[in-house]
């Protein structure tokens, strides 16, 4: 194992044009339309109803047409990943430091911890042979941003090593080690659990006593990854719900860690949209602004809330990394996003989250390398389903 000091990692880290229709996929310039396909409901009860999904076109890339023909019959997760990424699906990688096809728990200690002082744990699973691509996945689990919201049950407070291990063993979606339709099967996979109520962004313990130290926890996991997964050909950064929020801000740092890789991002089920109160109190009490990409992103707004600040910042980030792909999956009737938009005090379009979300996605789409899939149903976190 390569020894890597925390200071080494910190040095590395400094450094669509039309109104959407329901169930529509827009990766920029559209070059073809796929007819509507009948699809079975997920066995977990979170799948789309038969006939709900319609995929539309994709940007030309080698092999993408054949990929799309296969993807038409799949759930929207696989369609989105295959269509926007044009990944070579041949798995290529395991490192000796961790186990192929088996999740290993790591307890980094040090300054890492959960919101109420419990120890932190992250997980990794090796790919199939040396040189594998890498998935960095941020777990979701609610949030809080002041004494009142942090006294509520609106967030995950600890990481149970046993429970997380069992969940990871048997989960579907991009975590499946057995489903051949998983587009990242056989890849190295770093799973970053979440227990700090700050969307993985925080760097502070405010007066109300909750440890918003998501940055410390993520840095420990990335320090491990940089030492054990040294040269992946592709790096895919993703996260669901609150993990989606974290993925937006961590993606440029992770891409800088692996400058020679192909870079792909997917924010799953938390659009770049926040209510005014939650945004201002969150960024203030979490001290999340310390995570902004320090090498400079032209047009990045580090100030207080305005209606579409998060979407504009995602757009700026995508433009600053023109060779990367950034993307978002959302459902028009997502009850979790609607609830948290209300909790955050609403803002754009009053409290009409669906209308505001669609406008936010349109703002992000002004970047040519941003793609999205907006489902017409209520699904929250599609990457967990087959």
How many whole angstroms from its chain centre is CA 224? 19
Question: What pLDDT, on a 0 to 100 scale, did the predictor assign at position 384?
Answer: 93
Bridging pattern class, strands 134-138 and 234-240: parallel
**9 inside domain:** no
For 195, 284, 307, the CA distances from 356, given in Å and listed in that order, are: 28, 23, 9
Q: What is the pLDDT of residues 1-23, one digit of tens each?
A: 333 444 544 554 444 323 333 44
57 near 25, Cβ under 8 Å? yes
Query: What is the Cα–Cα distance from 82 to 68, expressed in whole angstroms?
Result: 7
**271 inside domain:** yes
Q: What is the pLDDT of residues 57-72, one digit of tens each?
A: 223 232 222 222 233 3
Q: What is the mean pLDDT of the chain?
A: 81
User: Residue 238 — pLDDT band, cuts 50, 70, 90?
Assistant: very high
Total number of domains constituting the chain: 1
* Domain around 135: 23-34+44-384
Question: What pLDDT, on a 0 to 100 scale, did the predictor assign at position 386?
Answer: 85
**16 inside domain:** no
More confident residue, 385 or 95: 385
Mean pLDDT of 212-229: 97
Question: What pLDDT, on a 0 to 100 scale, did the predictor assign at position 368?
Answer: 97
The answer to whether residue 208 scores a pLDDT higher than 90 is yes
Report the 3 state secondary structure along the chain: CCCCCHHHHHHHHHCCCCCCCCCEEECCCCCCCCCCCCCCCCCCCCCCCCCCCCCCCCCCCCCHHHHHHHHCCCCHHHHHHHHHHCCCCCCCCCCCCCCECCCEEECCCCCCCCCCCCCCCEEEEECCCCCCCEEEEECCCECCCCHHHHCCCCECCCCCHHHHHHHHHHCCHHHCCCCCCCCCCCCEEEEECCCCCCCCCCCECCCCCCCECHHHHHHHHHHHHHHHCCCCCEEEEEEECHHHHHHHHHHHHHHHHCCCCEEEEEEECCCCCCCHHHHHHHHHHHCHHHHCCCCCCCCCCCCCCCCCHHHHHHHHHHHHCCCCEEEEEEECCCHHHHHHHHHCCCECCECCHHHHHHHHHHHHCCCCCEEEEEECCCCCCHHHCC
Q: What is the pLDDT of residues 313-347, one digit of tens each?
A: 999 999 999 999 999 999 999 999 999 999 999 99
**217 inside domain:** yes
Question: What pLDDT, on a 0 to 100 scale, did the predictor assign at position 99?
Answer: 66
The structure's pTM equals 0.81
The answer to whether residue 93 scores a pLDDT higher than 80 is no
Q: What is the pLDDT of residues 120-179, one digit of tens each?
A: 999 999 998 778 999 999 999 999 999 999 999 999 999 999 999 999 999 999 999 999
Question: What pLDDT, on a 0 to 100 scale, did the predictor assign at position 81?
Answer: 53
Mean pLDDT of 77-102: 46
**262 inside domain:** yes
**201 inside domain:** yes
Question: What pLDDT, on a 0 to 100 scale, did the predictor assign at position 72?
Answer: 31
User: Residue 98 — pLDDT band, cuts 50, 70, 90?
Assistant: low
CA dihedral 2, 89, 241, 158 (to 10 degrees): -40
201 near 214, Cβ under 8 Å? yes
**Which CATH number belongs to the domain containing residue 296 in this structure?**
3.40.50
Mean pLDDT of 235-239: 98
Beta-carbon contacts of 116 under 8 Å, excluding residues fewer than 6 positions away, are 157, 158, 210, 211
Mean pLDDT of 266-285: 98
Q: What is the pLDDT of residues 294-309, one digit of tens each?
A: 677 999 999 999 999 9
């Amino acid at each position: 194992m390569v020894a890597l000091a925390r200071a080494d990692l910190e040095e590395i880290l400094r450094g669509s044009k039309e109104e959407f229709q329901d169930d529509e996929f827009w990766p920029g310039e559209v070059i073809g339309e796929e007819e509507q396909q009948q699809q079975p409901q997920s066995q977990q009860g979170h799948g789309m109803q038969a006939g709900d999904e319609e995929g539309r076109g994709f940007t030309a890339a080698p092999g993408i047409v054949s990929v799309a023909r296969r993807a038409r019959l799949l759930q929207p997760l696989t369609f989105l990943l295959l269509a926007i990424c044009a990944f070579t699906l041949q798995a290529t990688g395991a490192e000796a430091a961790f186990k192929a096809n088996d999740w290993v728990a790591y307890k980094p200690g040090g300054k890492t911890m959960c919101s109420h002082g419990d120890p932190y744990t992250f997980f990794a699973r090796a790919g199939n042979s040396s040189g594998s691509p890498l998935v960095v996945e941020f777990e979701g689990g609610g949030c809080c941003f002041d004494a009142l919201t942090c006294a509520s049950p609106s967030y995950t407070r600890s990481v149970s090593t046993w429970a997380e291990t069992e969940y990871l063993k048997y989960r579907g979606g991009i975590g499946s080690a057995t489903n051949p339709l998983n587009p990242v099967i056989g890849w190295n996979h770093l799973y970053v659990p979440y227990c700090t109520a700050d969307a993985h962004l925080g760097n502070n313990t405010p007066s109300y006593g909750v440890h918003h130290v998501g940055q410390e926890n993520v840095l420990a996991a990335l320090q491990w990854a940089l030492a054990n997964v040294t040269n992946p050909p592709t790096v895919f950064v993703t996260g669901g719900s609150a993990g989606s929020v974290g993925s937006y801000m961590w993606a440029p740092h992770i891409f800088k860690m692996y400058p020679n890789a192909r870079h792909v991002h997917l924010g799953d089920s938390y659009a770049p949209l926040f209510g005014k109160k939650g945004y201002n109190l969150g960024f203030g009490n979490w001290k999340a602004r310390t995570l902004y990409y320090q090498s400079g992103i032209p047009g990045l707004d580090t100030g207080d809330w305005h209606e579409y600040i998060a979407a504009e910042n995602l757009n700026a980030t995508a433009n600053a990394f023109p060779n990367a792909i950034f993307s978002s999956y959302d459902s028009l009737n997502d009850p979790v996003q609607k609830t948290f938009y209300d909790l955050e005090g609403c803002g754009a379009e009053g409290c009409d989250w669906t209308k505001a979300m669609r406008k936010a996605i349109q703002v992000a789409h002004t970047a040519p390398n941003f793609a999205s899939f907006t489902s017409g149903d209520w699904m929250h976190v599609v990457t967990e389903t087959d």
